[in-house]
């Protein structure tokens, strides 16, 4: 989606568990300096609407997956990297803190189907995709109000669907009066923004599950 002149919008990528995330990724990947056979990309996952919680990460790209990529630049690999990080958040493998050290995240063959030559992040139901679209429009509107591109291939890849199917589900949300849809872009209607308590409760519940996991591991 083309950038709007004069605007530097924060792009929100919600998780299936309900957390509104944004990503800062320091492109490109570089060869590991430890001598290991992998490439590294440093980045930061910010949990929006949380008062500054974030997760500094070092994405470790395996040599096996590297062979499938046309390059290590963002234009060729940003979508699967963002989705691999989102999936690790879904699995409670990433902890959000006020400050902290880099956490290694493996960007490996678990996310790639070599037989069919495609990225895999887990099939989802239409109900799950619809919730994801609603969260995306809600959080984008709240945090950095700009038209929300619902045909974003990053989103389609995350839920193993197509941009066309996402837009078909979005059309139903338009019929329900929750969003205004113009082409591939959506904006939130008052009926959607009125559901603040619901979206924030989902976010807090997902964050609480992550915090409980790490509290247990620390004893």
**pLDDT at residue 103 in the model:** 83
Tens of pLDDT, residue by residue over 79-133, are 999 999 999 999 999 999 987 778 888 888 889 999 998 999 988 999 999 999 9
**Distance separating alpha carbons of residues 156 and 184, to the nearest angstrom:** 13
CB-based burial label for 57 (10 Å; 0-12, 13-18, 19+): buried
Tens of pLDDT, residue by residue over 29-66, are 988 887 668 899 999 999 999 999 999 999 999 888 99
Global confidence as pTM: 0.89
C-alpha dist (Å) from residue 208 to 5, 59, 72, 103, 119: 38, 24, 35, 19, 29
Rounded to the nearest 10 degrees, the angle between the axes of helix 196-218 and helix 126-143 is 100
Domain ranges within the chain, ordered by starting residue: 13-119, 126-196
Where does the pLDDT of residue 7 fall: very low under 50, low under 70, confident under 90, or very high at 90 and above? very low
**Distance separating alpha carbons of residues 19 and 206, to the nearest angstrom:** 7
The two three-digit tokens of residue 32, written as one number: 């590991």
CATH class of domain segment(s) 126-196: mainly alpha
Average pLDDT estimate for 180-193: 96
**Distance separating alpha carbons of residues 71 and 51, to the nearest angstrom:** 36
The whole-chain average pLDDT of the chain stands at: 91
Q: Tally the residues of the chain.
A: 219
Where does the pLDDT of residue 2 fall: very low under 50, low under 70, confident under 90, or very high at 90 and above? very low
């Amino acid at each position: 989606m083309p950038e709007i002149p004069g605007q530097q919008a924060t792009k929100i990528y919600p998780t299936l568990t309900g957390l509104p995330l944004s990503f800062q990724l320091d492109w490109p990947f570089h060869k590991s300096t430890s001598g290991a056979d992998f490439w590294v990309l440093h980045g930061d996952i910010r949990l929006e609407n949380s008062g500054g919680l974030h997760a500094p990460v070092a994405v470790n790209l395996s040599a096996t997956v590297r062979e499938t990529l046309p390059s290590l630049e963002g234009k060729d690999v940003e979508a699967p990297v963002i989705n691999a990080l989102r999936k690790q958040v879904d699995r409670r493998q990433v902890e959000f803190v006020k400050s902290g050290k880099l956490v290694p995240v493996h960007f490996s063959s678990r996310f790639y189907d070599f037989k069919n030559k495609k990225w895999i992040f887990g099939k989802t139901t239409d109900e799950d995709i619809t919730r994801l679209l609603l969260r995306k429009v809600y959080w984008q509107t709240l945090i950095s109000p700009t038209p929300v591109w619902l045909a974003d291939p990053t989103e389609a890849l995350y839920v193993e669907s197509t941009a066309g199917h996402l837009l078909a589900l979005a059309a139903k949300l338009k019929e329900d009066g929750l969003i205004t849809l113009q082409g591939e872009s959506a904006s939130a209607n008052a009926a959607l923004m009125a559901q603040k308590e619901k979206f924030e409760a989902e976010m807090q519940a997902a964050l609480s599950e992550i915090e409980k996991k790490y509290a247990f591991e620390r004893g």
